């Protein structure tokens, strides 16, 4: 079955720096992201994966080209509009988890809702629900330091899911985890996060998790060089 | 989000406590120094309160209560004939030397009260009574600084200007700025106790007719006699301003307050900066997840105002406690905390907090959310 296009990049360029430090990091990148699919973005270090993901998520401005996410030209939005666009549409998962160390797991998960001005009680209820979903229903009052790396990343997944965004972006979500834990996290991620109307983009160079992608886009030196479909999941 | 801001703040115990204790300390120092200053300045005018007359008439060039610019005896009759004057009595007040029985000399504030009325006599006696001043050679001394007169008791004696003085009472009198003991006697005897001069009457104390304000009568006296006259309150402020202008105290206190401010800025600024650096990753993540700059600024302002208010509360409380322990105005420690000082100190603490959070605010506004994806 065919999936709707969630995001589309057309001829995206991204340069950094001036003079001696000038670098072309993205060179006429074209990419389509489909809802209901987990797209893996792979390639050697320094090829521009993180940069591409940042552009897609609207946290980095492009130099040239179109960034279309759910029909919105993200590259044309003002900073304030971009911020509110991210708040409504995008979930984030980071390599370093970025959980606030002084907040409990439940409070951490509630953050995206609190940002959207959902009342605290309601936000907490939903946060607890999503912690159950990722199998941490018994850890709601734990602080990040009291959790293992895999558990912390599951908290981060719950946080990315709680506001029910239609696009979730993850940069190296398993790089700080050992192989087994990484697989468990990805397994759970596919089960809980993937939905018909949600697109997921995962940047990785961890080939042990390639099998979890529906579509694998390979980058080299600022360009997408190939796109494979992985039929295993279909 | 303010809840999150609060948890970020108090969750970092070490920095939170540094900020609170730093700001408490700053407030404590500020209020304490300010109170000592106010206490000292108020003491300069204590003699006005001790005498307690509603109107004081004096030489037009007088600059402060202890500025000795005596009037002619004939001025008294002129003042008595001014409209609205209910009564007018002379007052002698001057610093003179006392010779104690052990041969030592001590400067005292000699106060000569009108023989007939004893207007200006102390209201609170600890022993003896003021009527005994009418007996020969008698004086009443104030309790404050009494130890400088070797703690005399009733019936003890000393000499003033080679003349005998016998203590007939001890009065409860507040400490003043010059910190010399008070010695009360009658007007006539005060003249004998002090070196003779052409003009001798320090002040004329006046009360207004019932129904007239002191201010009106002051105007009448000035117009009719060409002398100067003050209500008690105006004379107090004249004296306080004189000391403010003519001593180094305001400058010295000003310098210490400035240092307190600088130290406060250093402590709070550094800690806030460290706090901001450490939380930059998390602020970046919040920004990526869609927190606007306005909300982030509000969070930081909330954090800084929160520590400001708590620090102020503790510091001001501690300062008032210290003041209360050694206070009453009759004790050695000059300490007076007017409400205005508390307001100013609150303002200073808040300014310190806001200034030191400016750096964090600027950093968080400039923060690129893309940093969250970098190691
Ligand atoms: N803010 C920046 N300023 C200047 N150059 C940058 C900046 N961000 C990234 N680059 C450069 O862009 C290139 C691609 O960086 P990017 O982080 O996208 O690579 P990556 O594919 O994610 O690598 P890795 O697998 O190591 O994370 C690098 O050469 C890097 O030096
Ligand atoms: Mg990267």
Give the SS3 label for residue B51: helix
| Chain centroid to CA B324 | 14
- Return averaged pLDDT per consecutive 10 residues of chain B, 375 residues in all: 90 90 91 88 90 93 90 93 94 92 91 93 90 91 89 90 92 87 94 87 94 93 94 94 90 90 88 87 92 93 93 92 69 78 92 89 89 78
* CA distance to partner chain A, nearest, from residue B355 (Å): 25
The answer to whether the CB of A7 falls within 8 A of the CB of A70 is: yes
pLDDT at B264: 87
Ligand 1: residues within 6 Å at CB?
Answer: A 16-17, 23, 25, 45-51, 205
Indicate which residue's Cα is closest to atom 25 of ligand 1.
A45
Angle A208-A210-A213 from CA coordinates, rounded to 5°: 145
Q: How far apart are CA A224 and CA A31, in angstroms?
A: 8
- At A9, which helix (H) or strand (E)? strand A5-16
Q: Decide if A83 and B292 are in contact by the 8 Å CB cutoff.
A: yes
The answer to whether the CB of B110 falls within 8 A of the CB of B101 is: no
pLDDT at B329: 46
The answer to whether the CB of A200 falls within 8 A of the CB of A194 is: yes
- Find tokens 């102390």 and name the residue: B122
- Check pLDDT > 70 for residue A233: no
Q: Which atom of ligand 1 is nearest to the CA of B368?
A: 1
- At A233, which helix (H) or strand (E)? none
Q: How far apart are CA A183 and CA A211, in angstroms?
A: 10
**Cβ of residue A112 closer than 8 Å to a chain B Cβ:** yes
Which residue in A45, A77, A83, A88 has the most chain B C-beta atoms within 10 A of its own C-beta, making it the best mutation to test that interface?
A83
Q: Which residues of B touch A53 (CB under 8 A)?
A: 373
Which of these, B172, B124, B114, B127, lies nearest to B153 by C-alpha position? B127
Alpha carbon of B77 to those of B90, B205, B219: distances in Å?
10, 12, 17
Extract the tokens encoding B140: 């009443």
- At B135, which helix (H) or strand (E)? none
> At a CB cut-off of 8 Å and minimum separation 6, what does A69 contact?
A6, A7, A56, A58, A85, A89, A167
Alpha-helical regions (H) of chain B: 2-11, 13-44, 46-51, 74-80, 187-193, 214-225, 232-246, 249-288, 293-325, 339-366
The answer to whether the CB of B284 falls within 8 A of the CB of B369 is: yes
Angle A194-A166-A185 from CA coordinates, rounded to 5°: 35
> At a CB cut-off of 8 Å and minimum separation 6, what does B288 contact?
A57, A59, A86, A92, B369, B370, B372
Extract the tokens encoding B50: 């001790």
* CA distance to partner chain A, nearest, from residue B46 (Å): 55
Extract the tokens encoding A199: 């697109």
Q: How far apart are CA B299 and CA A93, in angstroms?
A: 23
pLDDT at B145: 85
Return the number of other C-beta atoms located less than 10 Å from residue B217's C-beta.
Answer: 24
Q: How far apart are CA A20 and CA A42, in angstroms?
A: 28
Partner residue opposite A60 with nearest CB, options B3, B290, B370:
B370
User: Which ligand places an atom closest to the C-alpha of A171?
Assistant: 2
Indicate which residue's Cα is closest to atom 1 of ligand 1.
A16
Dihedral sign for Cα atoms in the order A92, A93, A98, A101: positive
pLDDT at A231: 76
Q: How far apart are CA B89 and CA B100, in angstroms?
A: 31
Which residue in B289, B298, B365, B369 has the most chain A C-beta atoms within 10 A of its own C-beta, making it the best mutation to test that interface?
B289
The answer to whether the CB of B127 falls within 8 A of the CB of B154 is: yes
Q: Between helices B249-288 and B339-366, what is the axis angle to 10°?
A: 30
The model's pLDDT over A135-185, given as tens digits with 9 standing for 90+, comes to: 999 999 999 999 999 999 999 999 999 999 999 999 998 888 888 888 888
Q: Which atom of ligand 1 is nearest to the CA of A51?
A: 18
**Cβ of residue A141 closer than 8 Å to a chain B Cβ:** no
| Chain centroid to CA A193 | 11
Q: Decide if A115 and B285 are in contact by the 8 Å CB cutoff.
A: no
pLDDT at A2: 62
Dihedral sign for Cα atoms in the order A138, A144, A148, A154: positive
* CA distance to partner chain A, nearest, from residue B273 (Å): 18
* CA distance to partner chain B, nearest, from residue A192 (Å): 20
Indicate which residue's Cα is closest to atom 3 of ligand 1.
A16
Q: Decide if A50 and B374 are in contact by the 8 Å CB cutoff.
A: yes
Partner residue opposite B290 with nearest CB, options A53, A102, A115:
A115
Q: Decide if A86 and B290 are in contact by the 8 Å CB cutoff.
A: yes
Indicate which residue's Cα is closest to atom 17 of ligand 1.
A50
Which residue in A111, A112, A120, A173 has the most chain B C-beta atoms within 10 A of its own C-beta, making it the best mutation to test that interface?
A111
The model's pLDDT over A190-231, given as tens digits with 9 standing for 90+, comes to: 888 888 889 999 999 888 888 889 999 999 999 999 999 887
pLDDT at B325: 78
Q: How far is the CA of A67 from the centre of ligand 1 (A)?
A: 19
pLDDT at A180: 87
Indicate which residue's Cα is closest to atom 9 of ligand 1.
A51
On the CB side of A36, CA atoms within 13 Å amount to 9
The answer to whether the CB of A218 falls within 8 A of the CB of A231 is: no
The answer to whether the CB of B290 falls within 8 A of the CB of A159 is: no
pLDDT at B331: 60
A positions 44-83 inside 8 Å of B (CB): 50, 53-54, 57, 59-60, 80, 83
Give the residue from chain A lying closest to B369, CA to CA.
A59
Q: Decide if A102 and B3 are in contact by the 8 Å CB cutoff.
A: no
Burial of A149 (0-12, 13-18, 19+ CB in 10 A): middle
Mean pLDDT over the full length of chain A: 91
The answer to whether the CB of B220 falls within 8 A of the CB of B84 is: yes
Q: Which atom of ligand 1 is nearest to the CA of A205?
A: 25
Strand bridging mode B203-208 / B85-99: antiparallel
Q: How far apart are CA B215 and CA A65, in angstroms?
A: 83
Q: Decide if A112 and B369 are in contact by the 8 Å CB cutoff.
A: no
- Find tokens 């004790």 and name the residue: B331
pLDDT at B322: 83
Per DSSP, the residues of A137-201 read TT-TT--GGGS-HHHHHHHHHHHHHHT--SEEEEESTTTTS-HHHHHHHHHHHHHHH--TT-EEE
Q: Decide if B370 and A54 are in contact by the 8 Å CB cutoff.
A: yes
Q: How far apart are CA B290 and CA B285, in angstroms?
A: 9
Where are chain B's structural domains? 2-44+248-373, 72-226
ipTM topping 0.90: yes
Which of these, B203, B208, B202, B200, lies nearest to B82 by C-alpha position? B208
Q: What are the structural domains, with CATH classification, of chain A?
A: 5-233 (3.40.50.300)
**End-to-end C-alpha distance for chain A, whole angstroms:** 8
Q: How far apart are CA A114 and CA B289, in angstroms?
A: 11
- Find tokens 């629900």 and name the residue: A129
Please give the model's pTM, rounded to 2 decimal places. 0.81
Which of these, B242, B261, B282, B255, lies nearest to B364 by C-alpha position? B282
Q: Which residues of B touch A114 (CB under 8 A)?
A: 1, 3-4
């Amino acid at each position: 079955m065919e999936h709707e296009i969630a995001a589309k990049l057309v001829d995206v360029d991204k340069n950094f720096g001036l003079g001696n430090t000038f670098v072309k990091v993205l060179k006429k990148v074209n990419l389509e992201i489909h809802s209901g699919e987990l797209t893996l973005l792979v390639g050697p270090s320094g090829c521009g994966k993180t940069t591409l993901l940042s552009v897609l998520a609207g946290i980095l401005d492009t130099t040239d080209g179109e960034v279309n996410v759910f029909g919105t030209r993200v590259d044309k939005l003002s900073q304030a509009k971009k911020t509110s666009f991210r708040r409504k549409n995008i979930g984030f998962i980071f390599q370093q988890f970025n959980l606030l160390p002084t907040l409990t797991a439940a409070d951490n998960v509630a953050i995206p809702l609190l940002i959207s001005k959902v009342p605290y009680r309601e936000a907490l209820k939903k946060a607890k629900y999503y912690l159950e979903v990722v199998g941490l229903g018994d850890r709601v009052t734990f602080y990040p330091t009291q959790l293992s790396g895999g558990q912390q990343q599951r908290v981060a997944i719950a946080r990315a899911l709680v506001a029910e965004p239609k696009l979730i972006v993850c940069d190296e979500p398993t790089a700080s985890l050992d192989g087994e834990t990484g697989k468990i996290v990805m397994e759970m991620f596919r089960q809980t996060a993937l939905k018909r109307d949600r697109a997921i983009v995962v940047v990785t160079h961890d080939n042990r998790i390639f099998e979890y992608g529906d579509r694998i886009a390979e980058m080299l030196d600022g360009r997408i060089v190939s796109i494979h479909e992985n039929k295993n999941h279909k | 989000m303010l809840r999150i801001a609060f948890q970020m703040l108090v969750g970092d115990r070490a920095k939170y406590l540094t900020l609170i204790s730093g700001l408490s300390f700053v407030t404590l120092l500020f209020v304490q120094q300010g109170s000592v200053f106010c206490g000292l300045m108020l003491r300069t005018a204590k003699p006005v309160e001790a005498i307690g007359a509603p109107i004081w008439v004096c030489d037009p060039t007088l600059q402060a209560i202890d500025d000795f610019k005596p009037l002619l005896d004939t001025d008294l009759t002129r003042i008595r004939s001014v409209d609205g004057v209910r009564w007018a009595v002379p007052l002698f007040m001057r610093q003179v030397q006392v010779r104690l029985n052990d041969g030592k000399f001590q400067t005292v504030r000699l106060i000569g009260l009108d023989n007939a009325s004893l207007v200006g006599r102390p209201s609170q006696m600890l022993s003896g009574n003021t009527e005994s001043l009418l007996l020969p050679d008698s004086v009443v001394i104030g309790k404050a600084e009494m130890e400088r007169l070797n703690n005399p008791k009733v019936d003890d004696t000393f000499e003033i200007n080679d003349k005998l003085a016998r203590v007939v009472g001890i009065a409860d009198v507040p400490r003043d700025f010059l910190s010399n003991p008070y010695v009360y006697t009658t007007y006539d005897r005060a003249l004998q106790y002090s070196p003779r001069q052409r003009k001798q009457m320090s002040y004329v104390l006046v009360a207004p007719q019932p129904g007239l304000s002191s201010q009106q009568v002051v105007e009448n006296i000035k117009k009719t006699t060409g002398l100067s006259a003050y209500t008690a309150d105006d004379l107090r402020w004249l004296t306080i301003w004189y000391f403010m202008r003519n001593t180094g105290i305001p400058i010295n206190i000003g310098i210490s307050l400035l240092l307190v401010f600088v130290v406060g800025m250093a402590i709070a600024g550094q800690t806030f900066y460290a706090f901001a650096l450490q939380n930059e990753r998390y602020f970046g993540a919040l920004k990526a997840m869609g927190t606007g700059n306005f909300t982030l600024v509000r969070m930081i302002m909330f954090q800084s105002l929160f520590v400001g208010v708590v620090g102020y509360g503790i510091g001001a409380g501690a300062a008032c406690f210290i003041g209360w322990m050694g206070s009453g105005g009759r004790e050695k420690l000059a300490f007076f905390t007017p409400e205005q000082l508390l307001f100013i100190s609150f303002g200073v603490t808040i300014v310190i907090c806001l200034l030191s959070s400016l750096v964090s605010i600027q950093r968080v506004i400039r923060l690129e959310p893309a940093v969250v994806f970098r190691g």
